[in-house]
Amino acid sequence: MGSQTHKRQHTTSTERSKKSRAKKKSGATGGNAAQLGATAGNSSQRKNSKKSPDTDTEADTDSDAEENTDTDSKKDSNTKNRTREEKKESEEEKQQNCGKDADKNQKQILQQMADIWNEEVQSKITPNQNAILTKKRKELLTARWIDEFAEDIRAWRYFCEIIGRSEFCLGKIEGKDWTIDLTWAVQSSDRVAKILEGGFSGGKHPSKPPSCDIPEFQDAWDEVLRRLAHHHGKAAIRSWFSNTVITKAEDTPDGVMLTLECPREFVRGWIEKHFLADLNHHWRECDYSSRPVIGIQLQTKEAAS
């Protein structure tokens, strides 16, 4: 029989020792891997655990920020509303104060008008009794003050002086059982104009209407007066321009300068203040005369003589 190679059934001690060491090493490696896996899991949990409070904190912070924004927005809105209300109250208070000041000034003006009337007229009719400012008289005086006297107390005094010098108005004409009173004097614009014209001056002729001594400019003067009356009212123009006369026309390089003669200094000053600008304007625009007029100058009879 040929020889056959038999496989050993038993391991040697050296081989068994190697296997034991390899097995221990393998077990240790697996254990380490498991331990590492567990460690990694714990680490992940710890990270998640750490992250979770941060996430909650961020959410809380966002919520607080939104609440703060809403609160700030409400505060701004309330502040704006308060500012608007305070501004509105301030404007209303200013309007009330302006209204009070206007009422106070109006009362003072009416009282001043009454004092002048009592001084110039009433004292000559009933020396011991002043005229009383009734509601009706206040309304009439207010209307005349604005329309006829252009809110100028000098014009009112002039009006009262005319009445105070009129024997007819003061009841000193025989057979005329009548005296003027404040209500009657300021009843209407036409009545004021008639008094200023001299219509109640003891039967004397009314004041002469405005005239022109230079025929060349008569038509133009009539047109200027018509335009003035359209703007200022017929009564005012008839009153203040009565007894005025255009007396001279002087040639200048630019055109003609006219001279308007006034009966008194007060009338001259009144026309200068209230009508001169319009006079010059209408004369320059008027084409009724052959020579262009550049303006008009004022003087009194006393200055002319």
pLDDT at 224: 93
How is residue 256 written in tokens?
Answer: 């003609």
- Please check the confidence at residue 251 and state whether its pLDDT lies above 60: yes
Cα gap 116→265, rounded to integer Å: 20
pLDDT at 81: 77
pLDDT tens column, 165-182: 899 899 988 888 899 999
Provide the pLDDT confidence category of residue 60 given band limits of 50, 70 and 90.
Answer: low
Least confident of 48-52, 144-148, 193-197, 248-252: 48-52
CA pseudo-torsion sign 216, 219, 222, 226: negative
pLDDT at 107: 94
pLDDT tens column, 79-113: 777 777 777 777 777 677 666 787 889 999 999 99
pLDDT at 196: 86
DSSP for 216-259, please give it.
GGHHHHHHHHHHHHHHH-HHHHHHHTTT-EEEEEEEETTEEEEE
pLDDT tens column, 1-54: 444 444 455 556 666 666 666 665 555 555 554 454 545 454 555 544 444 455
pLDDT at 137: 97
Share of the chain above pLDDT 90, in %: 40
- Top-confidence residue, 41 or 136: 136
- Please check the confidence at residue 195 and state whether its pLDDT lies above 50: yes
Average pLDDT over residues 235-239: 85
Average pLDDT over residues 259-269: 94
Helix axes 218-232, 276-285, angle to 10 degrees: 130
**What residue type is assigned to position 66 of the chain?**
E
Average pLDDT over residues 210-215: 90
Q: Look at residues 193, 263, 261 and name the one whose alpha carbon lies nearest to residue 232.
A: 193
**Cβ atoms of residues 200 and 180 within 8 Å:** yes
The pTM of the full predicted model, rounded to 2 decimals, is 0.50
- Top-confidence residue, 291 or 50: 291
Domains of the chain: 91-206 (no CATH), 211-304 (3.30.300.180)
